[in-house]
Chain A
Amino acid sequence: MRKVTLYNVMSIVALFFFWEVAARISRSPFFPSFTDVVEAAVRIVTIGDIEKIKLHEHAVASILRVLVGFCLACGTGVPLGFMMGLKRETYDALKSIIEPVRFIPPIAWIPLAYILLSGYSRYILIIWLGAFFPILLNTMAGIKRTSPVLVNVAKAFGADDRSTTLKVVVPSALPEVVAGMRIGLGVGWMCIVAAEIIGGEMIGLGRLIEKAKELLQIDVVLLGMVAIGLIGLFMNEALLQAEKRLFKWRMEVKM
């Protein structure tokens, strides 16, 4: 375990080192060095961007938007996934819509969202689109993967459909449902920049990147990107730990 940590630290240090060297050699104003980005970080954290909005305010705004979209995706994806997993007919009826739509990337919806929606609902639509399908499909797969032997155990005790579903199908599918939620949250988070470009408000990490781009502050652009990456990593790790705790009966949670 400590060896792994050592390797991780080594590769990060190496990355920063080569970045720094490359940036210094290029001497381009559009290629900020690692230390430039650190300086930008100090500036945005303490003073804020040109509108005096600080980094943590951008981050909180983005996280809240993603959480709202994500909750909506759970609220729709989990029940629908359950129905599609339990009743083949539901899946058969909806598959001709779901299967092609899920390959339309959330960015492709931007023009439509821009024209049809306004304000907060634009963010929510884009994030929902990102989070919904992994949640839906994982939930369905989890339900379908219920072991027929375990269902037969319940039937042999005379369990009706309702208690078989509640006592066997749901607990057996739960790890996959939660894994789907983790993946959905990740994808939703990755949609934040796309969502915030059309969102209108001046706050949010995606907005920070957009604003900095227009001012040619590449160091701030990179700062925004790094912040998005780190927050995504943190959310994923937090959910992964929760899964490990919740489902220790599974021995290991698949990554």
Chain B
Amino acid sequence: MTYRDYSAKVDVKEVSKRYGDLEVLTDVTFEAAGGEFVVIVGPSGCGKTTLLKIVAGLETASSGFILINGEPPNPKSQNIGFVFQEESLFPWRTVEGNVKFGLEVKKMPTENKVEEMIELVGLKGFEYYYPHQISGGMRKRVALARSLAVDPSLLLMDEPFGELDAQTRWIIHKELWSIHEKLKKTTVFVTHNVEEAVYLADRVVVLTKRPGTVKRIMPIRLQRPRNKLGEQFIKYREMIIELLREEVPSI
């Protein structure tokens, strides 16, 4: 298996977003180095998803800018992988057909790549199943394979595992991390699950409540693979929960 070894550097500079009078994001600034795994956490409704969509070029910022390898985000000219929070597989396509989708849109050759991606996420043998025939965790793996198939320089994940049960989530975290180590794609991952954030992140960006802005950027200096029950791990977790608690007094 060979992968083109390029990972984008992402610069988010003073990004704000308003919908009419509603201010969703204010002056969000952070960056992600090539190959880095950045996790954004924040209270619900703080604009995390909006921020990710702006980074993907699916929405535009009201002010501020984003640079991906020095260029503004543009899904037409850049390969950006996006894993959505909701069910996002095409129900009329098989697993294979779904993984192939981005390659078809980008008019990239599909041979080997589809097979390789399906194998990477551990779904060999399920190529011809339809989404409704496989489990929720498998569907998330297919969505991941689909975004990775186009060899993105940046992978964006919007609370991708929110709907999974704790056990499946735990397994998929490990898998995601090993895929990240293999491919070294710059990843920006949004979640409200603090344990998930500490497990996966090189750095955690904590946002305030709406209008969301960066409250703290916290590097997680823990060895991998991380132990969710380790003393240091729990310390990081508590620190981030404390930061979030200041935002939402009731949690």
Contact = CB atoms under 8 A, between A and B. Distances in A.
B40 to A, nearest CB: 18
Interface string B63-107: 000000000001111101110101110111100000001101110
Interface string B120-152: 000000000011100000000000001100100
Most buried by A among B74, B93, B105: B105
A149 B132 contact: no
A149 B87 contact: yes
A65 B131 CA distance: 41
A155 B58 contact: yes
A78 to B, nearest CB: 18
A250 B131 CA distance: 10
B188 interface: no
B84 A157 contact: no
B77 A158 contact: yes
Contact of B80 (A156, A174, A251): A156
Interface in A201-255: 247-251
Contacts of B130: 248-249
A43 interface: no
A17 to B, nearest CB: 45
B25 interface: no
B56 interface: yes
Given A153-B88, A156-B82, A249-B91, A167 B75 contact: no
Contact of B104 (A149, A160, A167, A174): A167
B77 A168 contact: no
A152 B106 contact: no
Contacts of B74: 158
B138 to A, nearest CB: 16
Contacts of B106: 157-158
B110 to A, nearest CB: 13
Interface in A121-158: 149-150, 152-158
Contact of A167 (B82, B105, B132): B105
A163 B105 contact: yes
Contact of A156 (B58, B92, B131, B132): B58
Contact of A157 (B87, B92, B93, B105): B105
Interface residues of B, dominant DSSP? loop
Given A167-B104, A249-B132, A158 B75 contact: yes
Interface residues of B, number: 29
A48 interface: no
Nearest to B150: A157
Do most interface residues of chain A lie in helix, strand or loop, or is the interface mixed? Answer: helix
A20 B74 CA distance: 75
Interface string A73-84: 000000000000
A171 B92 contact: yes
A98 interface: no
A172 B92 contact: yes
Contacts of A248: 130
A153 B84 contact: yes
A171 to B, nearest CB: 5
A22 interface: no
Nearest to A153: B88
A9 interface: no
Contacts of B80: 156
A251 B133 CA distance: 9
A160 B130 CA distance: 26
Contacts of B146: 153
A159 interface: yes
Interface in A161-196: 163, 167-168, 171-172, 174
Given A153-B84, A248-B130, A167 B101 contact: yes
A174 B132 CA distance: 18
A167 B101 CA distance: 9
29 contacts: A149-B84, A149-B86, A149-B87, A150-B88, A152-B58, A152-B82, A152-B84, A153-B84, A153-B90, A153-B101, A153-B146, A155-B75, A156-B75, A156-B82, A157-B101, A157-B102, A157-B105, A157-B150, A158-B75, A158-B76, A158-B78, A158-B105, A160-B76, A163-B105, A172-B90, A248-B130, A249-B92, A250-B92, A251-B132
Nearest 8 Cβ contacts at the A-B interface: A158-B75, A156-B82, A158-B76, A157-B102, A157-B105, A159-B105, A249-B92, A149-B86
Given A154-B105, A158-B75, A167-B101, 8 more contacts: A149-B86, A149-B87, A156-B147, A157-B150, A158-B78, A159-B105, A167-B105, A250-B92
